[in-house]
Amino acid sequence: MIDEYIAGFGSSALGEFAESMPWELTLGAVGIVERLLGGLRDGYAIADGVAVHCTSTIEGGAVVKGPAIVGPGCFIAAGAYVRGGCWLEANCILGPGAELKSSFVFTGSKLAHFNFVGDSLLGSGVNLEAGSIIANYRNELVRPMISFFHKGTRLETGVEKFGALVGDRTRIGANAVVAPGAILAPAMVVKRLSLIDQAVGEG
């Protein structure tokens, strides 16, 4: 499934998880990132479970909690917050006030500023404008287990937290909300102030 949306998934460090469903990866993010830490090559400084490539910049005032891997050419601005097992492939940007939790972000993707992305996979070249979020928990439901429709099929994730699988080159406009349990096609454009919700209701 993931290869349909993220072209470089199979050839990345995550390729060994090619048969996993997206929500299985995010649920196991801490363990997966810890495992990947052990296989990193030269060029990384590693401390307290956080690996940062020598070509990347993390400004003072940013918080990056391990386990985490920040690949080559990345930039994490002051005020950004990374937690819960995160992996940034290369040339990614997390702007001021951006929060990333239990997520995998592929080459060239950007969270501009004041974004939240939880329990998600972002393909290459994805851009989130200011204030847009990818929510990961259905606070409005009595039973928050995430299920949703995709291509006419009902998908049961078996988890209470999952944000989205976002295809390569997708653009999410300012202050838009992607509700928990979403799959966005490559090169999709989400308009500013809009809501994407693919959920199955409680009936």
User: Which amino acids are annotated catalytic?
Assistant: 113
User: How many residues make up the chain in this entry?
Assistant: 203
Distance of alpha carbon 183 from alpha carbon 99, whole angstroms = 20
Q: Does residue 39 come out as left (phi exceeding 0), alpha (psi in the -120 to 50 range) or beta?
A: alpha
143 token code pair = 């039973």
Token pair 């653009």 in the structure block, residue: 171
Locate all alpha helices (DSSP H) within 10-160, ordered by sequence.
22-27, 29-37
Task: Specify whether the CB–CB gap between 111 and 95 falls below 8 A.
Answer: yes
